[in-house]
Amino acid sequence: MIEAVVFDMDGVLLQSEEVWDEVREEYVRERGGRYDAEIQRAMMGMSSPEWSRYLHDHAAVPDDPQEINAEVVRRMLARYREHLPLIPGAVGAVERLAARFPLGLASSSNRELIDTALDVSGLAKYFSATVSSEEVARGKPNPDVYLEAARCLDVEPLNCCAVEDSHGGIRAAKSAGMRVVAIPNPTYPPDDEALALADVTVRSLDELTVDVVSA
């Protein structure tokens, strides 16, 4: 029986994967590094310590990983304050499910970005627990961030439903033992193998209902 719902943020509530891509590519190229589709896809789902180290080690960015992280987050915050890219239907979906379930959020974004996005969108009041993958040992596709969200909600992972869009996120939630509703990201779609792990796939947040979550 589903007792709680845990949302991903980037690609589910925010059309932000493109923003991350633009910001990181601009920064990497400014610093003389390499940025391509392989680099972009490899970082999807990584925690901030992981992707900043990855840019240093594999994209030839000369700065220290902590400096890389701090500068990218600074630029992301500026973009969010200028325009928060909420996905159509995000507010309605959160309100609809919050009327029935306690909600959690399990995101690869930094804590500052999670808090800013939820505050600017007005959605913070609906979430009983929010977890950044920088606050756990390993990022997605490992299950750590979802397991921590379930712990904070005081609900067994088997009784949680996760809402995800990406290959790493779907694998993470499934590895945690959760029911998974996939809303494939149209720009960066999950691979067929990952999508097959989802319990149900819907086309948009408008289709994310209590019945879909609970079925």
CATH number, domain containing residue 43 = 1.10.150
**pLDDT tens, 136-149?**
999 999 999 999 99
**pLDDT tens, 74-118?**
999 999 999 999 999 999 999 999 999 999 999 999 999 999 999
- pLDDT at residue 44, rounded to an integer: 81
**211 pLDDT more than 90:** yes
Residues annotated as part of the active site: 8, 10
Which of 42, 58, 82 is the C-terminal boundary of a domain? Answer: 82
**pLDDT tens, 21-31?**
999 999 999 99
Q: Which two tokens stand for residue 106?
A: 């399990």
Q: Read off the pLDDT band of 53 (50, 70, 90).
A: very high
Q: What's the mean pLDDT in 53-70?
A: 96
Same domain, 70 and 144: no
**DSSP H stretches of helix in the chain:** 17-30, 37-43, 48-58, 65-82, 90-98, 111-121, 144-153, 167-175, 192-195, 210-214
Q: Which two tokens stand for residue 208?
A: 């994310």
- pLDDT at residue 45, rounded to an integer: 77
Same domain, 138 and 64: no
Q: What's the mean pLDDT in 24-53?
A: 92
Same domain, 23 and 123: no
Same domain, 70 and 137: no
Tokens 């980037």 identify what position?
10
Where in the sequence is the domain holding 22, given as residue range(s)? 17-82
How many domains are there within the chain?
Answer: 2
pTM: 0.91
Same domain, 113 and 50: no
Q: Read off the pLDDT band of 187 (50, 70, 90).
A: confident
C-alpha to C-alpha distance for 156 and 154, rounded to whole angstroms: 7
